[in-house]
Amino acid sequence: MRSSSLAHKPNFALIITFLILVMFGLVAIASASSVISYDQFGDNLVMLKSQLTNGLLAGVVFFVAFAIIPYKVWKRFNLVLLIVTILLLIAVFIPGLGINFGGASRWVNLGITSFQPSELAKLTMVLFFAAWLDKRGKGIKEFSTGVVPFLAILGVVAGLILAQPDLGTLTVIAVTAVAMFYVAGARIWHLFIMFLGATGFLALAIKLEPYRLARFTVFLNPAHDPQGLGYQITQSLLAVGSGGLFGVGLGQSRQKYNYLPEPAGDSIFAVMAEELGFIRILVVLAAFLLLGFLGYQVARRSRDNFGKLLAVGITTWFVAQALINIGALIGILPLTGIPLPFISFGGTALAVSLAAAGILVNVSRFTHAKPVRSIKKKRFSRAPISNPVGPAQDPKSDSTKSKTEAHI
């Protein structure tokens, strides 16, 4: 049976959730960027206009196209995607092509605009690992055929991103990849070893770079240097606290008047909390929670392992990045400098996020009406899904049992 015959209507609740987040983002950028836009360009809306033309316009085109293109098409290009990702991450270090800003080499000059390869890497790595893990099957349970090549591939990309440096993006990609590895059927003790190694690597990365060590020190004690190292988190907490229950009013933020660094970028949630207040900012938090619920629901109901891994990867990426961004601005996580998905200013980030959202919507078109469950287990299995082929088998046989569990 052709896959097109199995297609049904997409998950409209998922589409509406994406729409809500994008609309919140545009309104938030219009307000949060008004002061800095006027100071630098003489136009209160210049950053909003840039987000519309450089991010939303391309993002909507990608969203519609990727929501229509059957997601299984991406399975054919996994190696190409990996190579392109590595080449783009290398391009940021090439003089004349890469752009260095604030000591970071994260952008590629395209002439009329700039492009951030690390944002694209979030999507391409999800597509690559979904195809790679699906192809490996039960081989990922073995250390030599699963863990070693997985860490080798992830390590190459991680090294290039860390060299930019961009520890925040690296964290999101690593968390997403490990979540996919787990769902694909990795052994728990392998994941525990990886966790210990990642903890040691993170500690070394913090120790070797003074600015990372400073951020971690400020995280432990924000009041240590409120006018120096702790300035951003101090101003962020002031913005969030000033919002109270109902906020100071849309457009009335005081922290955006050159007090809070990057008010329309990484710190936009603090401005939103100040203007909207605790009650109304819960709508944004609820939207991300709903996105997580709906995304993982798509994964549970996916008809094949590749679709399940794609849904898990994209959903984990969005949710993890949102948690890291918001957690840093309210002081429960160290500052990492990553945008809030669909909301922060950044054309590349918005366009790539909408492209990924389109793929997730497409996966939702090829799902079961309800997740298939086994009689014995009530949770969604991490075992690879196999299509039943061949003659009928004894219900008590091991092969039939594995297929039943795989459809949990």
With 70 as the cut, is the pLDDT of residue 370 above it? no
**pLDDT range class, residue 165, cuts 50, 70, 90:** confident
Sign, CA dihedral 329-334-157-191, equals negative
Q: How far is it, in rounded angstroms, from Cα 140 to Cα 337?
A: 33
**pLDDT range class, residue 23, cuts 50, 70, 90:** very high
Give percent of the chain with pLDDT exceeding 90. 54
**pLDDT range class, residue 374, cuts 50, 70, 90:** very low
Each residue's pLDDT tens digit, 249-280: 998 999 999 888 889 999 999 999 999 999 99
Each residue's pLDDT tens digit, 127-138: 999 999 999 888
pLDDT for res 253: 92
Residue with tokens 């996916």: 302
With 90 as the cut, is the pLDDT of residue 16 above it? yes
With 70 as the cut, is the pLDDT of residue 28 above it? yes
With 70 as the cut, is the pLDDT of residue 383 above it? no
With 90 as the cut, is the pLDDT of residue 202 above it? no
Token pair, residue 209, equals 């770079």
pLDDT for res 102: 65
Q: How far is it, in rounded angstroms, from Cα 65 to Cα 17?
A: 18
**pLDDT range class, residue 397, cuts 50, 70, 90:** very low
Is the model's pTM score more than 0.75?
A: yes
